Amino acid sequence: MLYPPWHLVVALCLTYVFLHFQVRHWRRARLSNPRRLPLPPGPIPSFLIGNLRDIPSRYPWLKYSALAKQYGDIVHVEVFGKHILILNSLEGAVDLCEKRSHIYSDRPRMPMVGEMMGWDINFTLMPYGPRWRRHRRLFHQNFNGAAVQSYIPVQAMEVHRMMQRLLSTPEDLFHHIRQSFAAAIMRVTYGMEVQGPNRHVKAAEDAMKGFADAAAPGAYLVDTIPILKYVPAWFPGATFVRKAQEWRKSLNEFVNGPFLLVKNDMAAGTGVPSICRTALEKARGSAEEDSITKNTCAMAFAGGSDTTTSTIQSFFLAMVLHPEIQKKAQEQIDSVVGRDRLPEFSDRVSLPYVEAIIKETLRWQPAGPMGVPHQTTADDEYKGYHIPKGAMILINAWSILNDDTAYPDPFAYNPERFLKDGQINPNVRDPEVAAFGFGRRICPGRHLVSNGAFLSIASILAAFDISHAIDEHGNQIEVEVRMTTGILSYPEPFKCSIRPRSETVPSMIQQSIDRDFEFLRV
């Protein structure tokens, strides 16, 4: 007896499954949209795969911004029956994700990063509900605007240590920046001091690299076809499975390692105060509360260091390219602070030009250009369009922060766009409205990031001149603005010159470190 070729059988089965779900999808669409409202405009889908070819795996914010110019600020695409809306304007993001946050605060299923890599412990990715609220509540208690003020001395000390390392090995700039913010959040969260190579920090860095790569919508096909997560690691083409397994090991190391050290110290009656220790004491041995504490502390460490790291790296890049801006900021710092000490946090209100640099850096190269996707929990109508339940909502923060109606000449790095008569102009849109997300899913660590950015930028400008590096032939090494892709974006490594502004800078930095230790010892 003759049998049809196996590939024909598979094709017929897949076609049957596709048509079955399409019929279900069509029936549900009729029930959920009785007024027959149109979906928002977007590119025409292809047969079977929909708009799969329109979902970019690299630099999605650029592709979606281009689609907005063609179809409008709200763009709709569909992949295998999954509706995706891209919001490219502040108006749409606020109207939906803030004013209607009760149905726009869920998260879509992300099999690669959540189920395969283990990031489902991250409350940033958790579905909207009681479990998310309990994690978010613990985080907010420790990182709200008032609470983070007590962490400023630790942040300042690690900034000063970073500056001391820059004196001896400025070529290791990117490493020093990352180590500084990792050390600060490690001490605040776990009470651990980090001065050199640390396996927990290394594991966190590896895990975050994987997260930044895998969490971007469209990066891996398994997020569109979840059944692919069952493909064995040895199967040809299953590179994504092997990647997920390696990244999961790093995640487990950085989530469990510091947490267990704190628990062991508590059992031995040793250790120092920390967020983790305080939360565990309140938990009183509850396994569920212990789990919430472990997850929340790990995510504080992950998010608290990486967002600030990206911002400070972008700041260095901007200063290399714009020495005239650097000089203006230094002149203001010298007039307010002087040349015999480093800026302190209390100087912030008197340094509006530095504040403008922070705002422009957040706007110019946002650390999260596309944010984290939202998902609708009910059918909705907006501007005459139907928005289905379960639709993925992508907010193009990059597009919002490059809106030429709010920021003329948006591709130019120009802090003075935020100033009027030498002070911050409240009539100019603050980049924080888009840089940290929207609604109930707004980044809860934004206050810590803001404080760390000021302490770093003000102190570095006071102590160093940043300029183009010179090669062995005496020629200037040119620098280009090139960012990495992914859900988190950083400047690609570049070379620059970092020189003390005077001979007294090393002693000034050491004096600041000595004062930091004295203050923290009290």
* Residue 17 burial (C-beta neighbours within 10 Å; 0-12, 13-18, 19+): exposed
| 320 in Cβ contact with 467 (< 8 Å) | yes
| 400 in Cβ contact with 434 (< 8 Å) | yes
| 344 in Cβ contact with 458 (< 8 Å) | no
Alpha-carbon span 367 to 477, nearest angstrom: 25
Alpha-carbon span 510 to 505, nearest angstrom: 9
Alpha-carbon span 226 to 235, nearest angstrom: 16
Binding residues: 443
Alpha-carbon span 138 to 443, nearest angstrom: 14
Alpha-carbon span 62 to 68, nearest angstrom: 10
Alpha-carbon span 8 to 186, nearest angstrom: 56
| 132 in Cβ contact with 123 (< 8 Å) | yes
Binding residues for heme: 443
Strand partners, 134: none
Strand partners, 385: 382
Beta-carbon contacts of residue 349 (< 8 Å; ≥ 6 apart): none
Per the document, the length of the chain is: 522
DSSP state of 225: S
Strand partners, 78: 83
| 500 in Cβ contact with 158 (< 8 Å) | no
Alpha-carbon span 515 to 348, nearest angstrom: 19
Name the residue among 455, 430, 432, 454 with its Cα closest to residue 442. 432
* Residue 349 burial (C-beta neighbours within 10 Å; 0-12, 13-18, 19+): exposed
Alpha-carbon span 336 to 349, nearest angstrom: 11
| 316 in Cβ contact with 456 (< 8 Å) | no
> How far is C-alpha 512 from the chain's CA centre?
30
Q: What letters, b where the CB count within 10 A reaches 16 and e where it falls short, cover 350-369?
A: ebbbbbbbbbbbbbbbbbbb
- Vertex 72: Cα angle to 70 and 73 (nearest 5): 130
